[in-house]
Chains A and B, each alone.
Chain A
Amino acid sequence: MGLIFKIAWRNLWRHKNHSLVIGTILCLGALIMTVGNGVVEGMDRGLQKTIVHGFTGDLVLVSEKYESDNVFLEMMGKTVPPIDNFKAIRASLEKSSLVDQILPMGKNMAMVLNEDGGMPTFLYLLGVDFERYHRMFPDNVNVIEGRFPKPGRPWLMLPTGARKEINDMTNVWFIPEDASLDTSHLEAEAKKHPGDLSVKSNLVLMGFNEDNSSTDIRLNVAGVFKYRALNTIFHPFALMDIESYRQTLGYFMASEKKPGNVSARDSALFAEDGNLDNLFSGDSLIVGNKPASEAKVDWIPKEASQRSNIDMDDGAYNLVLVLLHSGVNAEKTKGALNKIFRDENLGIRAVDWKQALGPVGSMTTLIKSALFIFVSILFLVAVIIIVNTLSMAALERTPEIGMMRAIGARKGFIGLMFLAETAALSLAFGGLGIVLGAVVVELLSLLKLASENDMLQLFFGGDTFRPVLTTGDIGLAFLQLGFVTAAAVIYPLILARSITPLDAVYKE
Chain B
Amino acid sequence: MNIIEIHGLTKDYALGETTVHALRGIDLTIAKGDLVCIMGPSGCGKTTLLNVIGGIDSATTGSVRIGGQELTTLPDREITDLRLHRLGFIFQTFNLIPVLTATENVEFPLLLQKEHSKSEIRARAEKLLEEVGLSEYRHHRPSELSGGQRQRIAIARALVTNPDIVLADEPTANLDSVTGASILEIMQTMNQRQQTTFLFSTHDKNVLKYARTVVHIKDGLIDGE
Interface residues of A (CB under 8 A from B): 3, 6-7, 10-11, 13-14, 399-400, 403-411, 413, 500-502, 504-505, 508
Contact = CB atoms under 8 A, between A and B. Distances in A.
Interface in B116-141: none
Closest 5 CB pairs of A and B: A408-B84, A10-B99, A403-B95, A501-B56, A3-B111
A404 B5 CA distance: 26
Interface string B38-62: 0000000001000100101100000
B98 A14 contact: yes
B51 A405 contact: no
A400 B84 CA distance: 16
Contacts of A11: 99
B99 A403 contact: no
Nearest to A10: B99
Of A10, A411, A504, most B-chain CB atoms within 10 Å: A10
Contacts of B88: 407
Given A406-B83, A407-B157, A7 B100 contact: yes
Nearest to A413: B112
A411 B100 CA distance: 20
Contact of B95 (A400, A500, A502): A400
B97 interface: yes
Contacts of A407: 83-84, 88-89, 108-109, 112, 157-158
B97 A404 contact: yes
Contacts of A500: 56
Contacts of B96: 403
Contact of A7 (B80, B92, B99): B99
B81 interface: yes
A506 to B, nearest CB: 10
Contacts of A10: 99-100
Nearest to A401: B97
Interface of B: 47, 51, 54, 56-57, 76-77, 80-81, 83-85, 88-89, 91-93, 95-100, 104, 108-109, 111-113, 157-158, 169
A213 to B, nearest CB: 89
Of A11, A14, A400, A409, most B-chain CB atoms within 10 Å: A409
20 contacts: A3-B108, A6-B104, A10-B99, A11-B99, A400-B95, A405-B80, A406-B89, A407-B84, A407-B157, A407-B158, A408-B83, A408-B84, A408-B109, A409-B84, A411-B76, A501-B56, A504-B95, A505-B47, A505-B56, A508-B93
A504 B54 CA distance: 14
Given A7-B97, A11-B99, A502-B56, A408 B80 contact: yes
Contacts of B57: 502
Given A407-B83, A409-B84, 12 more contacts: A6-B100, A7-B97, A400-B98, A404-B97, A406-B95, A407-B109, A409-B112, A410-B77, A411-B76, A413-B112, A502-B57, A505-B47
A405 B84 CA distance: 9
B83 A400 contact: no
Contacts of A6: 100, 104
The DSSP consensus for interface residues of chain A is helix
Contact of A505 (B51, B77, B97, B112): B51
A405 B54 CA distance: 12
A409 B109 CA distance: 8
Contacts of B111: 3
Of A6, A406, A411, most B-chain CB atoms within 10 Å: A406
A408 B113 CA distance: 8
Contact of A14 (B51, B92, B99, B158): B99
Given A7-B99, A407-B108, A502 B51 contact: yes
Nearest to A504: B95
Contacts of B109: 407-408
B42 to A, nearest CB: 15
A500 B79 CA distance: 12
Given A7-B97, A14-B98, A403 B112 contact: no
Nearest to A3: B111
Given A413-B112, A505-B47, A505-B51, A406 B56 contact: yes
B81 A408 contact: yes
B81 to A, nearest CB: 7
Contacts of B92: 508
Given A400-B97, A501-B56, A408 B51 contact: no
A384 B174 CA distance: 40
A406 B77 CA distance: 12
Contacts of B77: 410
B97 A508 contact: no
Contacts of B84: 407-409
Nearest to A503: B56
Nearest to A11: B99
B75 to A, nearest CB: 12
Of A404, A405, A410, A505, most B-chain CB atoms within 10 Å: A505
Of B77, B95, B113, B157, most A-chain CB atoms within 10 Å: B95
Contacts of A399: 93, 95
B173 to A, nearest CB: 11
Nearest to B161: A408
Contacts of B169: 505
Nearest to A403: B95
A14 B97 CA distance: 12
A19 to B, nearest CB: 13
A35 B88 CA distance: 54
A409 B112 CA distance: 7
Nearest to B100: A7
Contacts of A411: 76
Contacts of B76: 411
A13 B98 CA distance: 12
A406 B54 contact: yes
Contact of A409 (B47, B80, B99, B100): B80
Nearest to B97: A400
A501 B80 CA distance: 10
Of B47, B81, B89, most A-chain CB atoms within 10 Å: B89
Nearest to A9: B99
A508 B91 contact: yes
A434 B47 CA distance: 52
A407 B92 CA distance: 14
Nearest to B80: A410
Contacts of B98: 14, 400
A407 B83 CA distance: 6
A501 B55 CA distance: 9
A408 B82 CA distance: 8
A114 B89 CA distance: 100
Contacts of A410: 77, 80
A504 B169 CA distance: 13
